[in-house]
A and B are shown apart, each in its own frame.
Chain A
Amino acid sequence: MKNCLVVDDSKVIRKVARHILESLDLSVSEAVDGQDALTQCEAGAPDVVLLDWNMPVMSGMEFLEALATAKLEARPKIIFCTTENGIGHIKAAVEAGADEYMMKPFDRETLESKLAIVGVI
């Protein structure tokens, strides 16, 4: 079973994402900020990371930068999931190495299609 790490400081978003992801037969782990996510990735890389932008301690972009130099078994696919909807933010995320970008609010169909695009389902 493939694993998705949901990184978001909002408990509600993590809960909604978990509900959808589990219904798609993915196992789910959670992180509350970028630093927490990085620690978990170094312990065992997930297949895909659903990544918020604005978080305390370490933001989504800072996590991406740190991930680039981290020692990982395999690089996970990264799907940004954020309220930052401007084209500038989207371009910056893609340039920083995000594989996909999902704007909040999202629904099951949107998340499912993003997971299909990155080849996780």
Chain B
Amino acid sequence: MIARREEGAAREGVSRVLNSLLEARTGQTLSENRSWRTDTALRPVLRAHGFASIDALIARLLTTRDAALEDDVVNALLNNESSFFRDLQIFDMLYRDILPALHERKRDRVLRIWSAGCSTGQEAYSLAMQIRKDADRWKGWRIEILATDISTAAIQQARSGVFCQMDVQRGLAIGDLLKWFEPSGDDWKASDELRHMIDFRADNLFAPHAPHGLFDLVLCRNVLLYFSADRRRKVFDLLSRHTHDHGVLLLGAGETVIGQSDDFMAHPAFRGAYGRRLPIMLEGSAGTRRTG
């Protein structure tokens, strides 16, 4: 009984150290449903750094400032699960309704999209494929897709455009695989045409450097669920500062702005999407200015 109690206390101590590191670096917390997989997630880090156990790893984290080790631990703890065309109905709506509406609305022929919390890039590549699918519609347009994530490892993979067999099977139609990817050993690599459409950057939603200016479409899906209510508000503030008056915000299934942001409201035209409640206040302007 005593041994079990001691084991429980030790596990709690490990969780506390990891949680504190994760929160300080990313703003995310190690929710209960993620803490069970800590051992599995950290196994490659133990191997790479030559630790015999998680306790040895924790001891090093507590006694030495080792930025490379901290990076690896944080990258391992982050949930980088993603898939192509995740929540197909959302992508159907994007293709059928939202992108054509933005095409209609934007007189400057510039389309700016931000995939915030892009993980290993499948969302951004899915968007790029949808736009390329309608190449005639977007001819003569400047398309900018910014994709950011806190995980440097995820961004590195996203930028490489290389995905394993399991990744390309999830959500990606076989026609798109043949059209936009080529075999690369046992993996598949996205075409240069797709990769060059996307600007992948490692960035922190709480200390952002990457997003500049306003975006017509912002996707921040399955990201907010890892943040506390206070931090979610901060993220919504940031998203709000970078969303055009006519812009569209898409969250993950089960995520909402209700009770968490006064800047966004349910989009009047696109079910499940959000739009700005009030025109954006631009710095230096006496009033509001409509853009785009």
- Which residue numbers of B lie inside 8 Å of A, CB to CB? 83, 85, 88, 165-166, 169-171, 173-175, 177-178, 182-183
Contact A91 B169 (CB under 8 A): no
Given contacts A85-B165, A110-B169, A110-B170, contact A117 B178 (CB under 8 A): no
- CB closest residue in chain B, given A91: B178
21 A-B residue pairs with CB within 8 Å = A86-B183, A87-B183, A90-B178, A91-B178, A94-B174, A94-B175, A94-B178, A98-B174, A100-B174, A102-B169, A109-B83, A109-B170, A110-B166, A110-B169, A113-B169, A113-B170, A114-B169, A116-B88, A117-B88, A117-B171, A117-B173
**A113 lies within 8 A of B174 (CB):** no
- Contacts A87-B183, A91-B178, A94-B175 known; A113 to B83 CB distance under 8 Å? yes
Q: B86: shortest Cβ distance to chain A, in Å?
A: 9
* Closest-CB distance, B129 to chain A (whole angstroms): 13
Q: How far is the CB of B98 from chain A (nearest CB, A)?
A: 19
A72 to B65, CA, bound (A): 69
Q: Which residues of B contact A87 (CB under 8 A)?
A: 178, 182-183
Q: List the A side residues contacting B175 at CB < 8 Å.
A: 94
Asked if A106 meets B169 with Cβ closer than 8 Å, knowing A87-B183, A116-B88, A117-B88, the reply is yes
Residues on B with C-beta less than 8 A from A53 are none
Residues of chain B within 8 A (CB-CB) of A103 are: 165, 169
Closest to A99 in B: B174
Cα of A91 to Cα of B182 in the assembled complex, Å: 12
Min CB distance B167 to A, Å, is 10
Name the 8 nearest CB pairs between A and B, nearest first: A101-B174, A110-B169, A113-B171, A117-B173, A116-B88, A100-B174, A113-B170, A87-B183
Number of A-B pairs, beta carbon distance below 8 Å: 37
| B171 cross-chain contacts in A, Cβ below 8 A | 113, 117
Q: What is the minimal beta-carbon distance from A77 to any residue of chain B, in angstroms?
A: 12
List chain B residues, Cβ under 8 A from A114.
169
Q: How far is the CA of A87 from the CA of B171 in the complex (A)?
A: 18
Q: Shortest CB–CB separation between residue B6 and chain A, in angstroms? A: 38
Shortest CB-to-CB span from A95 to chain B, Å, is 10
Of all chain A residues, the one with the shortest Cβ separation from B169 is A110
Residues in B with CB closer than 8 Å to A113 are: 83, 85, 88, 169-171
Contacts of B178 in A (CB 8 A): 87, 90-91, 94
| Residues from chain B with Cβ under 8 Å of A101 in the complex | 174
| Minimum C-beta distance from B54 to chain A (A) | 28
- Measured CB to CB, the closest approach of chain A to B90, in angstroms, equals 12
Min distance, Cβ B125 to any Cβ of chain A, angstroms? 15
CA distance A56 to B177 in the complex (A): 29
Residues of A within 8 A of B88 (CB): 113, 116-117
Chain B residue at smallest Cβ distance from A88? B183
CA A86 to CA B183, docked complex, whole Å: 8
B41 CB to closest chain A CB (Å) equals 19
Q: A113-B169, A117-B173 are in contact. List 5 more A-B contacts (CB 8 A).
A: A94-B174, A94-B175, A102-B169, A113-B88, A113-B170
**A107 CA to B183 CA in the complex, in Å?**
21
Nearest B residue to A121 via CB reads B88
Query: Which residues of chain A have C-beta atoms less than 8 A from B85's C-beta?
Result: 113
A100 vs B177: C-alpha distance in the bound complex, in angstroms? 11
